[in-house]
Amino acid sequence: MERAVIKDEKLNEKYIKLKHKTGLTVLLYPMEGYSTSTAIFATKYGSIDRTFKKSTSPEFTTVPDGIAHYLEHKLFENEDGVDTFELFSKTGASANAYTSFDRTAYYFSCMDNFDESLKILLNFVQKPYFTDETVQKEQGIIGQEIKMYEDDADWRVFFNCLENMYHNVAVNVNIAGTVESISKIDKEVLYKCYNTFYNMNNMVLAIAGSFDVDSVINIINSEIKDNSPVEIERKVESEPNNVVRSISEISLPVSMPQFCIGYKLNAFSGLEMVKEEMIYQLICELLIGEGSEFYKDLYDSGLVAGGNVSYEVFCGEGFFSLIFSGESSSPKEVLSKLNYEIERKIKTGFEKAEVERVKNALYGYCIGCFNSPNSVAKEALNSFIFNYDIYDKLKILEEVNAEDINNKLKLINIDNSTLSIVSPLKN
Amino acid sequence: MLNTKKIKSGVYFHSMVDKKFKFNRISVNFVVKMNSKEVSSNALLSFLLRKRCQQYPNMLDLGKKLQQLYGANLFSGCKKIGDNQIITFGISSLDDELSLNGEDLNRQVAKLLDCIIFEPIIESGKFVEEDLTIEKQNLVELVEGEYNDKKLYALNQALYHLFNGEGYGCNKYGDVESIKKIQNSKLIDAYKKMLASAEVHIMFVGREKYSDCFDVFKNRFDSIYRDDIYVSESKKYIKSTETKHKVEYDQVLQSKLVMGFASSKQYDFELDEVIMVMTALLGGTPMSKLFLNVREKMSLCYYCSARYDRFKGLIWVESGVENKNIEKAKAAILEQFEEIKNGKFSDDDINKVIIFFEDKLKSVFDSSSGIENYYLSELCGNRVRSIDDLIDKIKHIKKQDIIKVANLYSLVIDYVITSEG
């Protein structure tokens, strides 16, 4: 296995990066003093990967929406009928999985019996077993899950915002799909997706906490099956720069209107995207963080519940946007005020002193990622998905200056924004 | 180990240091009796005080200071632990050793928290009227906003109906009507009462240096007159009435079903660990009866889980069910409970639950908020169990013990939110 030790002298931390002969990337982050460990076995395959092909195949295939998530559910079943949770229950590990736009991750955290739990994790993910009957049966549970999210105002206001922004990139589709789309899923298409995306060349094993490095390497060598590396081509849909629509509104049983405001920006890849993400996080904190005048104005006016507008730099391969969300009796007024503030700041710029202060805050936030095995393992997974080293963010942060911030601020176009509202039902 | 020092009557400083943490977490927790008359004022204090203080009279300056302190997280709010309301103020911040310019963050943070709690801006015997107006509105919106999360809302409604809106049945933030009626002078009285009479637990979980923090709060409480001091307590709920059935109609695609179970006999607190294990066997893990049968085999619910509130002795089962399957789900949940009462589970099932708890409990020490939450709950229960003792007790639980406690329990309330028709 190719092996590299990556260090951060200031933080006095290090981790090991390995490339297994199968193509699997292994990130091992031993953490002194901790008793627990978290292991994540993940594939770079999420809900946005709907049209793809192996490089050896002649044509692209388009699969039903929600299939990555469906596959995640099905992998927990084994050919011998033993449920994977049952296996973990013997080691005491807490195991679960999730699917997002760009990844599917299987993970566990535990105190004892780490090696046994790791073997279970590596085994069940590598042994798909689907029958027509079990595939059919899962539609009931996933259908329930989809309905649960349809009642969830936070989820709906966020997804509607994405739908308002994106024409073609599949972040505009629910991760779990729809009741209709999942009805088209059968075992053949599940195997097709599995055999494409669960190739070790497209996967990572990230482990952080209290574990023995040599023992983990031995387990990887014995449990990871040989596979021929697969090169995947994902069809990149061209995405217009403009938003789809500037406003949408639905009604649900909520106490007051909820909103998401999205500003669509150009997408980036890899380390460049990480740098842009850091810069725009600083911009958002400068705009509406607790130390900003805008936050104080919102608080004093009572326009936003609790004065709180949360922000997110929502980014990945093919998408990059800023999303501001909260609750307000008048979401349109919030949008108007936020647009005004952005325009004002584009004219005046942020001063060096305030940028340095907010950099301090983001530095604290970044260090927070190294405070538990769970958050370190998640950060390691991110570093694989976007192809950077875990400490790169700290280096980027050190180098960012007020000029970078003010230049990037100018790229926010208030005319390329959208407002998603979930309002209370009438009567 | 948790190190406890008594600072003053009813005021305790607890510390747990561990070099592995990069952050220090300090919280000051005021414990008072939960009652419908005072719960809203206490909740309002937790939000009002965090906005400004004498050192930072402008909330913008306070926000800037927190950013400068490497994004220190100032938190405040309320919890309900048994019959107690806990009003918390705290800060989680980077340790001195990790600061970029050698700042003394630990001392600055402790002093800032002290100032927030004990040096509010009071003019002519009143809080800033403008703050009061805004925070009342915010708190009203927070309480009303619980309706947005139907899972939480259903549980709160079940509690409200079971306890007729009193004590444990109160919302931890109070109710809209009471919040709106809070007067400035009454809030000052509530503030004074909290400082003088609440049981106080100051918790430090962090890297090493807690002496700055200890000194700051020791000095503070030395100057505070304490009287009529509350001692935290909780009384277990014993079933004495007919089972309550409540249905609320709303426009939901998925119904929420909450079922509460209680013992009809008094029992010794020594049985808490057995009931905890029994509840986990019923619905606390992915290997539980509810998960495997009601969710996986019968596909009735996307979620269906059970948890034990040891302070009140209640078991809560929560599930998200398709509207047409409510009665089926209810029957299936009761059936699974009956199976436990009839001993339809194996020693292997018990062992899995024991391993689950062992892992979960030991993991507490890897998170500063986990340590704080665990010990705060124990302190409010007046019975601080070390994690090793707790694990040891759990390991000695036998099948017959579980059957015995399961048979103490029966349904006291079911609460459903569903759509009409």
Instruction: Encode pLDDT of A114-124 as tens digits.
Output: 999 999 999 99
**Interchain CB distance below 8 Å, A368 and B19:** no
Nearest-angstrom CA–CA distance, B347 and B293: 19
Extended strands (E) in B269-383: 301-309, 314-322
Which of residues A208, A234, A260 is at a domain's end? Answer: A234
Confidence at residue A144, expressed as pLDDT on a 0 to 100 scale: 83
Residues A100 and A61 in one domain: yes
- Short-list B310, B339, B353, CA closest to B403: B339
Residues A200 and A263 in one domain: no
Interface of B with A in 23-62 (CB under 8 A): 23, 59-60, 62
The whole-chain average pLDDT of chain B stands at: 94
Tokens of B374: 């665990």
B295 CB within 8 Å of a chain A CB: yes
CATH of the domain at A360: 3.30.830.10
Which of residues A179, A207, A234 is at a domain's end? Answer: A234
**What one-character DSSP code corresponds to residue A176?**
T
Residues A408 and A266 in one domain: yes
> Which residues of chain A does B66 touch, with a Cβ-Cβ cutoff of 8 Å?
290-291, 361
**Interchain CB distance below 8 Å, B365 and A145:** no
| Three-class SS state of A321 | strand
Indicate the pLDDT class of residue A427, thresholds 50, 70 and 90.
Answer: low
According to DSSP, the β-strands at A232-234 and A51-54 are antiparallel
Judge whether B228 lies within some domain.
Answer: no
Residue B247, pLDDT > 70, answer: yes
Residues A302 and A387 in one domain: yes
Residues A208 and A103 in one domain: yes
Residues A281 and A366 in one domain: yes
B324 CB within 8 Å of a chain A CB: no
**Residue B147, Ramachandran bin (φ over 0: left; ψ between -120 and 50: alpha; else beta):** alpha
Q: Which residue has the tokens 């049968």?
A: B293
What chain A residue is nearest to B136 in terms of C-alpha separation? A306
Q: Which of A145, A256, A296 sits opposite B302 (nearest CB)?
A: A145
Nearest-angstrom CA–CA distance, A339 and A415: 9
**Interchain CB distance below 8 Å, B254 and A151:** yes
Residues B208 and B300 in one domain: no
| Three-class SS state of A290 | coil
Residues B211 and B316 in one domain: no
A252 CB within 8 Å of a chain B CB: yes
B66 CB within 8 Å of a chain A CB: yes
The partner residues of A384 in beta bridges, in order of sequence, read none
Interface of A with B in 358-397 (CB under 8 A): 358, 360-365, 367-368, 370-373
Residues A217 and A317 in one domain: no
Judge whether A292 lies within some domain.
Answer: yes
Judge whether B403 lies within some domain.
Answer: yes
Distance from CA of B417 to the nearest CA of A (A): 12
Residue B421, pLDDT > 80, answer: no
- Short-list A52, A95, A97, A44, CA closest to A70: A97
Q: Quick one: average pLDDT of A255-273?
A: 94
Active site residue A72: yes
CATH of the domain at B320: 3.30.830.10
Q: Encode pLDDT of B92-107 as tens digits.
A: 999 988 888 888 899 9
**Interchain CB distance below 8 Å, A153 and B23:** no
Q: Which of A137, A357, A371 sits opposite B68 (nearest CB)?
A: A357
Q: Encode pLDDT of B111-151 as tens digits.
A: 999 999 999 999 999 999 999 999 999 999 999 989 989 99
Name the CA dihedral angle for B28, B30, B31, B36, rounded to a multiple of 10 degrees: -140
Residue A355, pLDDT > 80, answer: yes
**Range B374-392 burial, b when 16+ CB lie within 10 A, else e:** bbbbbbbbeeebebeebbe
Selected for mutation to probe chain A from B47, B255, B355 (highest A CB count within 10 Å) is B355
Judge whether B230 lies within some domain.
Answer: no
Residues B311 and B182 in one domain: no
Indicate the pLDDT class of residue A229, thresholds 50, 70 and 90.
Answer: confident
What chain B residue is nearest to A354 in terms of C-alpha separation? B64
Q: What ipTM goes with this model? A: 0.89
Domain limits for position A370: 247-424
Residues A257 and A359 in one domain: yes
Confidence at residue A137, expressed as pLDDT on a 0 to 100 scale: 84
**Interchain CB distance below 8 Å, A92 and B254:** no
Residues B150 and B256 in one domain: no
Residues A81 and A209 in one domain: yes
Judge whether B235 lies within some domain.
Answer: no
Residues B182 and B308 in one domain: no
Residues B250 and B193 in one domain: no
Judge whether A210 lies within some domain.
Answer: yes
Tokens of A212: 């023995």
Residues B156 and B303 in one domain: no
Which of residues B222, B254, B269 is at a domain's end? Answer: B222
A81 CB within 8 Å of a chain B CB: no
Judge whether A410 lies within some domain.
Answer: yes
> Which residues of chain A does B295 touch, with a Cβ-Cβ cutoff of 8 Å?
141
Q: Quick one: average pLDDT of A347-359?
A: 96
A292 CB within 8 Å of a chain B CB: yes
Q: Encode pLDDT of A166-205 as tens digits.
A: 999 999 999 999 999 999 999 999 999 999 999 999 999 9
Q: Which of A86, A290, A296 sits opposite B66 (nearest CB)?
A: A290
Judge whether B237 lies within some domain.
Answer: no
Nearest-angstrom CA–CA distance, B26 and B206: 8
Confidence at residue A157, expressed as pLDDT on a 0 to 100 scale: 97
Q: Quick one: average pLDDT of B331-344?
A: 97
Annotate A241-263 with DSSP letters as a single string.
SS-S-SEEEEEES-SS-EEEEEE
Annotate B57-76 with DSSP letters as a single string.
-SHHHHHHHHHHTTS-EEEE
**Interchain CB distance below 8 Å, A289 and B63:** yes
Q: Quick one: average pLDDT of A239-268?
A: 96
Name the CA dihedral angle for A39, A45, A46, A47, rounded to a multiple of 10 degrees: -160
Distance from CA of B57 to the nearest CA of A (A): 13
Residue A296, pLDDT > 70, answer: yes
Nearest-angstrom CA–CA distance, A341 and B199: 45
Nearest-angstrom CA–CA distance, B308 and A400: 50
What chain A residue is nearest to B297 in terms of C-alpha separation? A137
Q: Encode pLDDT of B197-232 as tens digits.
A: 999 999 999 987 788 899 999 999 999 999 999 999
Judge whether A268 lies within some domain.
Answer: yes
- Short-list B13, B24, B5, B222, CA closest to B118: B222
Domain limits for position B376: 244-418
**Interchain CB distance below 8 Å, B66 and A361:** yes
According to DSSP, the β-strands at A37-43 and A203-209 are antiparallel
Total number of domains in chain A: 2
Total number of domains in chain B: 2
Residue A38, pLDDT > 90, answer: yes
**Interchain CB distance below 8 Å, B67 and A289:** yes
Which of residues B158, B188, B222 is at a domain's end? Answer: B222
- Residue A300 carries which side chain, given as an amino acid letter? D
Judge whether B264 lies within some domain.
Answer: yes
Judge whether A88 lies within some domain.
Answer: yes
- Short-list B186, B216, B74, CA closest to B126: B186
A223 CB within 8 Å of a chain B CB: no
Nearest-angstrom CA–CA distance, A92 and A85: 10
- The sign of the dihedral angle between the CA atoms of A128, A134, A139, A140 is negative
Selected for mutation to probe chain A from B116, B254, B361 (highest A CB count within 10 Å) is B254
Residues B110 and B154 in one domain: yes
Q: Are A144 and B304 in contact (CB under 8 A)?
A: no
Q: Encode pLDDT of B259-305 as tens digits.
A: 999 999 988 888 999 999 999 999 999 889 999 999 888 888 889 99
Residues B333 and B277 in one domain: yes
Judge whether B87 lies within some domain.
Answer: yes
Residues B256 and B218 in one domain: no
Indicate the pLDDT class of residue A81, thresholds 50, 70 and 90.
Answer: confident
Q: Which residue has the tokens 């436990």?
A: B340
Q: Quick one: average pLDDT of A78-91?
A: 90
Name the CA dihedral angle for A263, A266, A267, A268, rounded to a multiple of 10 degrees: -130
Residues B255 and B131 in one domain: no
Q: Encode pLDDT of B40-72 as tens digits.
A: 999 999 999 999 999 999 999 999 999 999 999
Residues A217 and A262 in one domain: no
In this prediction, what percent of chain B has a pLDDT beyond 90? Answer: 84
Residues A178 and A279 in one domain: no
The partner residues of A422 in beta bridges, in order of sequence, read A250, A258
Distance from CA of B64 to the nearest CA of A (A): 4
- Short-list A279, A244, A277, A250, CA closest to A262: A244
Q: Are B106 and B96 in contact (CB under 8 A)?
A: yes
Nearest-angstrom CA–CA distance, B176 and B140: 5
Query: Which residues have CB under 8 Å from B75's CB, separation 6+?
Result: B27, B88, B89, B90, B91, B92
- Residue A368 carries which side chain, given as an amino acid letter? G
Extended strands (E) in A278-329: 310-316, 319-327
C-alpha B371: how far from chain center? 14
Residues B29 and B133 in one domain: yes
- The sign of the dihedral angle between the CA atoms of B321, B326, B329, B334 is positive
Q: Number of H helices and number of E strands within chain B?
A: 15, 13
B365 CB within 8 Å of a chain A CB: yes
Confidence at residue A10, expressed as pLDDT on a 0 to 100 scale: 84
Nearest-angstrom CA–CA distance, A50 and A67: 8
What chain B residue is nearest to A365 in terms of C-alpha separation? B71
Judge whether B238 lies within some domain.
Answer: no
Judge whether A241 lies within some domain.
Answer: no
**Interchain CB distance below 8 Å, B367 and A372:** yes
Q: Which of A137, A307, A368 sits opposite B23 (nearest CB)?
A: A368
* CA-based radius of gyration for chain B: 23
Catalytic choice (A2, A9, A59, A72): A72
Residue B79, pLDDT > 90, answer: yes
- Report angle CA B48, B51, B55 to the nearest 5 degrees: 120
> Which residues of chain A does B50 touch, with a Cβ-Cβ cutoff of 8 Å?
none
Indicate the pLDDT class of residue B338, thresholds 50, 70 and 90.
Answer: very high
The partner residues of A176 in beta bridges, in order of sequence, read none
**Interchain CB distance below 8 Å, B98 and A367:** yes
Query: Which residues have CB under 8 Å from B400's CB, separation 6+?
Result: none
Residues A221 and A125 in one domain: yes
Distance from CA of B215 to the nearest CA of A (A): 25
In this prediction, what percent of chain B has a pLDDT beyond 70? Answer: 100
A151 CB within 8 Å of a chain B CB: yes
**Interchain CB distance below 8 Å, A291 and B356:** no
**What one-character DSSP code corresponds to residue A304?**
B
Q: Encode pLDDT of B340-398 as tens digits.
A: 999 999 999 999 999 999 999 999 999 999 999 999 999 998 788 899 999 999 999 99
